Amino acid sequence: MEPKAMTPSSGLAGDIRTLLAEAWRLDPRRLVLQVILLAISGLVGGIGLLLLVPIVNSVANPASTITVPLLGAMSFGSIPLSALLVAFVLLTLAQALVNRTSMINSTRMQQEIVDRLRGEAFDAILSATWTFILRRRRSDVIEIVTTGAARSGLAFQQLLQGAVTLVLALATAVVALLISPVVVGIALVGVLAVGALRLMSIRPSYRLGVMFGDRNRTLQSVMADSMDSLRLIRAHDASPVWTQRLTNAFIDAREVQIATVRRSSTVTAISSVALASAAALLVLLSVQMNVPATSIVVILLLVARLTTQVQLLANTANLLANFLPSVGDLTSLAAEARAAAEVPAGEGTTRSPMVSDSQEPLLDFRDVTFTYPESDSGITSVSFTVPRGQITALSGHSGAGKSTTADLALGLLTPRSGVLLIDGVPLVPGDLRWWREHVAYVPQETVLLPGTLRDNLVWSSSNPVTDDECWTALDRSAARFARSLPHGLDTVLGDRGS
């Protein structure tokens, strides 16, 4: 059975909506606070920029008046330069404090969103049906829940950074327009044209982000397969073959990253030259229109600042587009897993505790048939009973269906036809957790958690477990050697129990 490919992202706009919806669902008050902080930062920054006009004028010609369209003629001769400078520094300090609060708030939101998305996806996967899990390549799931979640957080970071830059750019543009609407209006047309040129690369950046996710999942798959097949690789001296496979996967992932940088750097170079040319034309135009020298200096400062902000905004938009596919991958995986929940929401067992002296068989397979999706393998019309207090063994050649039967008995798989009874009552999804509380499962391969011996003994129990109970379990499983371990139950186990 081939693992199922991951569902494609919902698209650029859809992923942005998903990201904003997750932020609102996580903590709407924190999101509203972020919007308020952005507005305050833009207002304070705009006032600070507007102060540049009287500061420059006080240095050049303190006795003159300044005519600012929409504001009229203003004279700052009676205000000491030192007072203007102090006001400018205080406004800058206020904006810095607001920006600091905004940065802390946005970082907290980013980390919480990553943790929420990652946790919900992992929880949904653990609660999904066994066939859903079997149809997903394990390395794909790991990549999406780890690297994909981290890239989703970076996408949210870029979204917030873009909002900050946009607010500051608008404040700068408003101040510049107040000083010289005609000249700055012409400059804004050029700046916006360059910005539009930069924004044309957003969709290609999004496509490159999709490609990066695919290549990275392939890389993770090759790594996982090579580690799982390490004994076989050694036995057949196939290390060069697998090394080449891994190298090819690295090259594919690297080429996508290089293509991303190549595209963005090309657009940056073109736009930088265009903006420099626009600035030169702006100076010539200002001279032709007899704009005062002090105003020209301030306008150039503001336009240079605005140009930087537009460039930063375009870079942020491209990075956002590159990270966004991970949001779609992660939320799609979680949604698909929730849709395939093993126990539907609202369903729970109503069965009473199991009675040890019941006359019914503990386990009863009645004409059970199961086949794996998109495969002919499985079992057909299997019937048998497992009496209480006895040992029942299933035997058969490899591929006969012993593991499938065990998975059916655990409730991991659902019969296509036939019925499975526990104590004479059909096993239904709502009873699965109740049934598994009565089952101890020993897999073919040893599975040990990173941690202590005690951690590995008690992790599946919903009730507190005492040390005496731990030692009793070890003694009954012929693991008395554990008593000689240096730290007893608190001994930290290595990989696979080493």
The per-residue DSSP string of 200-211 comes to TTHHHHHHHHHH
Please report the pLDDT score of residue 183 as a whole number.
63
User: What pLDDT score was predicted for residue 258?
Assistant: 84
- The helix/strand count (H/E) of the chain reads as 16, 8
Task: Tell me where in the chain the CATH 1.20.1560.10 domain(s) lie.
Answer: 12-339
Tokens of 410: 């655990």
CA–chain centroid gap for 464, Å, is 35
> Hey, is 7 helix, strand or coil?
coil
CATH of domain 12-339: 1.20.1560.10
Cβ neighbours of 78 (radius 10 Å): 7
Contact criterion met (CB below 8 Å) for 414 and 129: yes
Give the per-residue pLDDT at 6: 43
Instruction: Determine the angle formed by the axes of helices 28-50 and 81-126, rounding to 10 degrees.
Output: 160
Residue ranges in the chain modelled with pLDDT below 50 = 1-9, 69-73
- Partners of residue 341 on adjacent β-strands: 128
d(CA 215, CA 229): 21
What is the C-alpha separation between 75 and 63, in angstroms, rounded?
8
How many angstroms separate the first and last alpha carbons of the chain?
Answer: 33
Tokens linked to 344 = 């539907």
Task: Mark out the alpha helices in 180-292 (DSSP H runs).
Answer: 181-199, 202-228, 230-235, 239-288
Q: Look up residue 290 and give its amino acid.
A: N
Q: What angle do CA 362, 477, 493 make, to 5 degrees?
A: 120
- Round to whole Å and give the CA distance between 295 and 289: 12
What pLDDT, on the 0 to 100 scale, is given for residue 76? 52
Rounded Cα–Cα distance for residues 370 and 3 (Å): 19
Name residues whose C-beta falls within 8 Å of residue 237's C-beta, 6 or more positions apart in sequence: none
> For the whole model, what pTM was predicted?
0.69
